[in-house]
Amino acid sequence: MLTMRSSSVATEVLSTVEEFRGWRRRLGATTDAGPKALLGFVPTMGALHEGHLSLVEQAASQCAAVVVSIFVNPLQFGPNEDFQKYPRTMESDLKLCQEAGVKAIFAPSVQDFYGAGTDSTTIVSPPKALVDRLCGSFRPGHFDGVATVVTKLFGVVEPSRAYFGEKDYQQLTVIRHMVHDLNLPLEIVGCPTIREKDGLARSSRNVYLTAEQRAQAPSLHKTLTDVRDRSLSGAMSLHDALAAAKQEISSLPGVVVQYLEACDTDTLEPLTQARKPMVILVAAKFGDVRLIDNLIVQ
């Protein structure tokens, strides 16, 4: 166990389930974060940026203590995806958590967390209606991997509230449904997407973009606002607004749109007519880099 100290806060880094459980018991016994105080939890895969930190900030404003997990979960990556090369920046992650007043980081190894291995673990499988669409249709098994790791993390951390970004809207929806369906004893809090000045949603994967791709990438956000404005103003039908926007991004060199859809904010069923509320979601590959974004229209 490693402890990072500044004058007022100490962030503990726990790297096994057993160590974390020990810390969790001690936290429960202290007076400033006793059994009744709220424990906020922010699950991440590390390479922390402003987006992650906004979740930590929201958790800190509502809870007595905040735990961040840093775990690149092999179960949610497909065989040809970027599990091996996913950015791992533990040292700067620790510093950012320390500065943000995080009480503890849970950062287990794959070996410790999955024991006998990912092939022989129990899988939590969300309903097909939620996962066989949007990202799920391009990343088979991804949401089983997410639901499984999040359930396991909840079992170790035992949070009162867990904070997820609206940036990964389908993930947030799947987790909300899972917590409801399985009667898990915690509250899920969705937090707004943090963007660069030019509109690009902050993502750990943005570091993979070449200068040219980085210059093209804000087109994703613009596409979403165009679809919203054109369809809600009546200038175009939803169908035509989606088709026009899809064509506009697809015309950028090296960019391939995987999906661009407007959906029900709870069931993710595709809509045929623009309305409020709705969520417009997009995924596109800029070369090898897959970016996602969405716009919630209230």
- 194: contact with ligand AMP by CB under 6 A: yes
- Residue 202 makes contact with ligand AMP by CB under 6 A: yes
Q: Minimum Å distance from CB 76 to ligand AMP? A: 9
Binders of ligand AMP among residues 25 to 64 (CB under 6 A) are 44-45, 51-52, 54-55
| 31-39, 199-207, 219-227, 230-238 -> range binding ligand AMP (CB under 6 A) | 199-207
Q: Is 191 in the site for ligand AMP (CB under 6 A)?
A: yes
Angle formed at CA 108 by CA 106 and CA 113, multiple of 5 degrees: 120
145 lies in the binding site for ligand AMP (CB under 6 A): no
Answer for which of 58, 170, 173, 203 binds ligand AMP (CB under 6 A) is 203
User: How many residues make contact with ligand AMP (CB under 6 A)?
Assistant: 17
Return d(Cα 292, Cα 172) in angstroms, integer.
14
Q: Could you count the other beta carbons within 10 Å of the beta carbon of residue 99?
A: 13
* Least distance (Å) between residue 211 CB and ligand AMP: 21
Q: Is 52 marked active-site?
A: yes
Binding mask 156-175 for ligand AMP (x = CB under 6 A): --------xx-xx-------
Instruction: For ligand AMP, give the closer residue by CB, 12 or 168.
Output: 168
Strand-pair category, 2-5 with 278-286: unpaired
Task: Name residues contacting ligand AMP, limited to 253-292 (CB under 6 A).
Answer: none
Distance of closest approach, residue 149 Cβ to ligand AMP, in angstroms: 10
Least distance from ligand AMP to the Cβ atom of residue 47, Å? 7
Amino acid at 179: V
CA Rg value for the chain: 20
Tell me how far, at minimum, the Cβ of 121 lies from ligand AMP, in Å. Answer: 19
**For ligand AMP, the closer CB: 44 or 216:** 44
The closest of 130, 143, 193 to 167, measured between CA atoms, is 193
The residue (of 205 and 285) whose beta carbon lies closer to ligand AMP is 205
Cβ proximity to ligand AMP: between 221 and 230 the closer is: 221
> Which tokens hold the place of 161?
């509230």
Taking the complex as a whole, the smallest distance from the CB of residue 186 to ligand AMP amounts, in Å, to 14
Please, are residues 127 and 152 in contact by the beta-carbon 8 Å criterion?
Answer: no
Which residues contact ligand AMP (rule: CB under 6 A)? 44-45, 51-52, 54-55, 164-165, 167-168, 191, 193-194, 201-204
Q: Which residues are catalytic?
A: 52
